[in-house]
Amino acid sequence: MDAEEVIAKINSGDDKFLETVYAMNRPIFVGWFRKRGCPDDRISEWYQEAFFLFFEQVRESKLSKLDASVSTYLVGIGKNLDRQTRKNYWEKNVDKQGADILLIAENSGEREEEDAPPEATEKVKGALKKLGENCREILIMFYYRRFSMEAIAARANLKNENTAKKTKYECLKKLREIYKNL
Amino acid sequence: MSADHSALSRIEAYTLGTLPEAERRLMDAEREKDAELDAAIREFEEIKAGIEEAGKAELREKIRSWEEKAREREPGSRVPGIRIAAAAAVFIGCVAGLYFLLPQNGGVEETAYEMFSPYPGVITERSGSPASAEDSLFTYYAAGNYAAVVRMFESRQSFGDDLEGLRDFYLAESFIAEGRYKDAANLLADFDDGEHALFEVARFHYALALILSDRKNEARNTLRLIATEDGLYREKAEELLALTDD
């Protein structure tokens, strides 16, 4: 299966397949960074982040084809994370004049903290927790995973596309009510 | 469909960017005059952003659980039962045809990755001295900031002087470092001056860029050439050729 087919299958929303892609590509990623002396904990963190970023690219349709295999792409993201780690450390801790960037890499491990999400986002997440599990899943499938109504109907065991549309509308209405009253 | 439903659907289409252009413009105008509509759109955007964040958090959680499972399966794990189950699952998966999920030619690509490291430092061909600070491409490159070199290229910024024809070489090196193999191969293909001090490394990196951009047949032609000469990269070329034979 080439990279394009992998991407198409991920887009179809098959999470079992996504897990398989995760497991199958992990040894190459881990092996590559282990050979360079990176500690396992950091490799594990980078692989999770690389896979998440890969998935986000696929989800946002920014990645419809790849120059190389998925593992190559993931290692590429990992290399960028590694570089970013070094750069952050360099900027924070070391005088730029005469610094040996490679030496710094040995000691670096910090990542920049992500910005805190806006208050409204946190409020919606709170409202989602109060919504039933089915509704929450349907809304996430539609607005985050960008599944078609047909796919949502199949995954949520709904009769058809129209039922899925109606259910999604009811769920959204409920969520808005909870959100307003929080 | 109720009026409420219809209004919400319209706001949804507007927010998701699926509203036809004419309707979108109409809604933009309505929004400016109608504070209630504007507030409803803002609220919808907040809700959508919140759902997306929840989706991301859910996915990160799933990935974390996959990682835990993967670490348990690794050699040295203290959970032999899980290792046996994992081995059985892999076996059954292969029997069922899952083997096609393995990265194609992962071996040669991985080795090509292993073999690539950006040409160290920036030198001029003639003097062997470092590039001047005004040559920003070279300054970024020397600092290992390959992303900045690529950004300069993409934003059509001036690169400074083309240091004895080496600008494209260092740009290509930066492309490889940033995972842009096709772009690197296109630049390195033109680097054909056999007398140039960096010709050997450029040609070998061209072969690596070809492998990594899945143009293995072309890579083989270049590697065969390198393998027939008594140069710096002969052994590496032979190793890669053996892997592309698999």
pLDDT of residue B181: 86
Residue A7 · residue A64 · CB < 8 Å? yes
Whole-angstrom distance, CA of residue A140 vs CA of residue A5: 24
Domain boundaries, chain A: 3-107, 119-181
User: CA-to-CA distance for A106 and B30, rounded, in angstroms?
Assistant: 58
Closest CA to B126 of B162, B161, B164: B164
pLDDT attached to residue B159:
54
Kindly determine whether residue B109 and residue A68, on different chains, have CB atoms separated by under 8 Å: yes
CATH number, domain A119-181: 1.10.10.10
Identity of the residue in A19, A72, A140 whose CB atom sits nearest the CB atom of B54:
A140
Residue B38, C-beta contacts closer than 8 angstroms, at least 6 positions apart? B31, B32
Residues near B231 by beta carbon (within 8 Å), at least 6 away in sequence: B200
Quick: pLDDT tens for B200-224.
Answer: 889 999 999 999 888 888 999 999 9
- pLDDT tens digits, A11-51: 888 888 888 889 888 888 888 888 888 888 889 999 999 99
CATH code, B108-245: 1.25.40.10
Q: Inspect the interface and report whether the beta carbons of B8 and A24 lie closer than 8 Å.
A: no
Lowest mean pLDDT, pick from A11-25, A128-142, A156-170: A11-25
Of A56, A77, A124, the CB nearest to B50: A124
Highest mean pLDDT among A113-122, A133-142, B144-153: A133-142
- Mean pLDDT of the residues in chain B: 76
**Cβ <8 Å between B51 and A20:** no
Q: Which long-range contacts (CB under 8 A, 24 or more apart) does A175-182 make?
A: A175/A124, A175/A127, A175/A128, A175/A131, A175/A135, A175/A139, A175/B47, A176/B43, A176/B47, A178/A127, A178/A130, A178/A131, A179/A123, A179/A124, A179/A127, A179/B43, A179/B46, A179/B47, A179/B50, A182/A123, A182/A126, A182/A127
Residue B83: which pLDDT band, with cuts at 50, 70 and 90?
Answer: very low
DSSP for B26-49 reads HHHHHHHH-HHHHHHHHHHHHHHH
CB contact at 8 A, A169 and B8? yes
- CA gap B46, B15 in Å, rounded: 10
Mutate to test the interface with B, among A69, A95, A149 (most CBs of B within 10 A): A69
pLDDT score of B53: 92
- The question of ipTM being above 0.95 is answered as no
Q: For chain B, what percentages of helix, strand and coil (3-state, to nearest 5) are there? A: 70, 0, 30
The mean pLDDT value for A136-150 works out to 92
Nearest to A101 among B105, B144, B178 (CB): B144
| A151 pLDDT above the threshold of 70 | yes
Give pLDDT, residue A104. 34
Query: Does B72 score more than 90 pLDDT?
Result: no
- SS3 percent helix, strand, coil of chain A, rounded to 5, is 75, 0, 25
Separate counts of helices (H) and strands (E) for chain A: 9, 0
**Ramachandran sector of residue B128 (left: φ over 0; alpha: ψ -120 to 50; beta: rest):** left
Domain spans in chain B, listed from the N-terminal domain onward: 3-74, 108-245
- Give A76-105 pLDDT, tens digit per residue: 889 888 877 776 655 655 444 333 433 333
The reply to whether A28 touches chain B by the CB within 8 Å rule is yes
How many Cα atoms sit within 13 Å of B179 on the Cβ side? Answer: 17
Q: What is the pLDDT of residues B118-171, one digit of tens each?
A: 877 665 444 444 444 445 667 777 777 777 777 777 766 555 555 556 778 888
Q: Residue B171 and residue B155: Cα distance in Å, rounded? A: 13
Average pLDDT, chain A: 80
B110 pLDDT tier (thresholds 50, 70, 90)? confident
| Mean pLDDT, range B33-52, rounded to an integer | 92
**Residue from A87, A128, A170 whose CB has the most chain B CBs within 10 Å, to mutate:** A128
Cα angle vertex A34, ends B97, B245, to 5°?
50
Residue A68 to residue B71, Cβ atoms within 8 A:
no
A9, pLDDT greater than 60: yes
Beta bridge partners of B123: B130
pLDDT at B16 over 80: yes
8 Å CB contact of A70 and B103: yes
Phi, psi angles (nearest 5°) of residue B174: -65, -40
How far, in Å, CA of B114 to CA of B109, rounded? 9
pLDDT at A181 over 60: yes
DSSP symbol at B121: S
